[in-house]
Structure 1
Amino acid sequence: MIEFELNSDFIPMIQLLKVTDLVMSGGEAQAVVEQGLVKYNGNVDYRKRLKVKKGDIVEFNKQTIKIV
């Protein structure tokens, strides 16, 4: 599990995927979200600009990111 420390109110989903090195680019992040490969708090979510906040759980490619 990756614990990502959030220093602001939120982080956009595609930015989170990039900063945790789960994707190589913003374009790749957008593509995996559009394809339904990312789960947000247990449910598939297709929103690229989704605001991820503290306490949220994001799952992608057999990795879990906990926002702390």
Structure 2
Amino acid sequence: METFYLKDSEDHIKLGQALKAAGLVESGADAKQAVQDGSVKVNGEIDTRRGRKLRDGDLVEYGGETVRIAVGK
């Protein structure tokens, strides 16, 4: 499991942005498609809201990979 750290000034990141920033997808369009297809899970449940706000401790699963969202190092 990898960890994606939020910037110190942020308390959340949107699901679509997180997929791209964590390297799970190549582009925003790919993130949109993956979320709309129901291929992305947040905390173990399928979530089709690209704008879903992810916060410290949330887990994102896509393509056999899991990323944990955490507050900056």
- TM-score, with structure 1 as normaliser: 0.95
**Cα distance in structure 1, aligned partners of 2:63 and 2:38:** 11
Q: CA RMSD in A?
A: 0.7
Matching residue of 1:30: 32
- Equivalent residue pairs, number: 68
Matching residue of 1:57: 59
Describe the SS at the equivalent of 2:50.
coil
Matching residue of 1:41: 43
Which structure 1 residue ranges, 5 or more long, are not aligned? none
- TM-score, with structure 2 as normaliser: 0.89
Task: State the structure with more CA Rg.
Answer: 2
Give the 4+ runs in structure 1 shifted more than 4 A.
Answer: none
